Amino acid sequence: MRYSEYRHLVGSDLYRTTGHSDLAALLRAVLFGGVYKYVFWMRTCRYAHGHALLRYSIYPFAKAMLYHFRHKFGIDIPFITDIGPGFYIGHFSCIFVNERCVIGRNCNISQGVTIGTSNRGERAGNPVIGDNVYIGPGAKVIGEIHIGNYAAIGANSVVTHDVPDHAVVVGVPGRVISNRGSVGYINRVDYDPA
């Protein structure tokens, strides 16, 4: 990962969280903010781990901070997980994402969410989450499935099958109830680093 990509990821995540992406907003969010701290250290770990010099200087500290916030906030998202820009965690506690999952840009994840692997059956594997997806509190997304762009997964839903673009999914097992998607749930997607 190049520094420009790291900077874009950190800035877009910050903008989704605070509405600002300047240095003052970054310092406030990292020093005094809430869940953004976890996202910042997750991005920093990934960047530092990929560079020989940083791997032995910044990476150990970043990893220790990520470990600290993992336990403080109850979030377990490995830094090697492929997550697009504009990642937003609405509330902390009981969030788990498997490292082999793929999450697109401008996605919202709420408390109690699990995005995990299925080890057997026709859907054995890991989910791929599209862009601008909202995943509500307590939702479970399991197995080798694709969640379409602009989809919304309702609270406490269990999703084990593909979800089309713009779908709203609710229930156990999850079923599509409308095509209104994540409209109104995903905000601040107009990040411009210029």
The pLDDT value recorded for residue 194 is 65
CA gap 183, 175 in Å, rounded = 18
Residue 89: which H helix or E strand, with range?
strand 88-89
The third-level CATH classification (topology) of the domain covering 75-185 is: UDP N-Acetylglucosamine Acyltransferase; domain 1 (2.160.10)
> What is the average per-residue pLDDT within 81-95?
94
Which residues, 6 or more positions from 56, have their beta carbon under 8 angstroms from its beta carbon?
none
For the stretch 98-128, pLDDT in tens is 999 999 999 999 999 999 999 888 888 999 9
For the four alpha carbons of 133, 136, 137 and 142, in that order, the dihedral sign comes to negative
Task: Give how far Cα 149 sits from Cα of 11, 83, 186, Å.
Answer: 22, 14, 12
Residue 83 predicted with pLDDT over 90: yes
Domain extents for the chain? 1-73, 75-185
Residues 6+ away with beta carbon under 8 Å from 183: 150
- Residue pair 182/133 in contact (Cβ under 8 Å)? The answer is yes
Give the Å distances, CA to CA, from 176 to 92, 143, 151.
27, 18, 10
30-39 in b/e form (b: 16+ CB < 10 A) is: beebebbbbb
The tens digit of pLDDT for each residue in 117-159 reads 998 888 889 999 999 999 999 999 999 999 999 999 999 999 9
Q: Indicate the average pLDDT of the chain.
A: 95
Which residues, in sequence order, are CB contacts of 171 under 8 Å at separation 6+? 154, 157, 158
Averaged over 70-84, what is the pLDDT?
96
All residues at 6 or more sequence positions from 62 whose CB lies less than 8 Å from its CB, including other chains: 41, 44, 45, 48
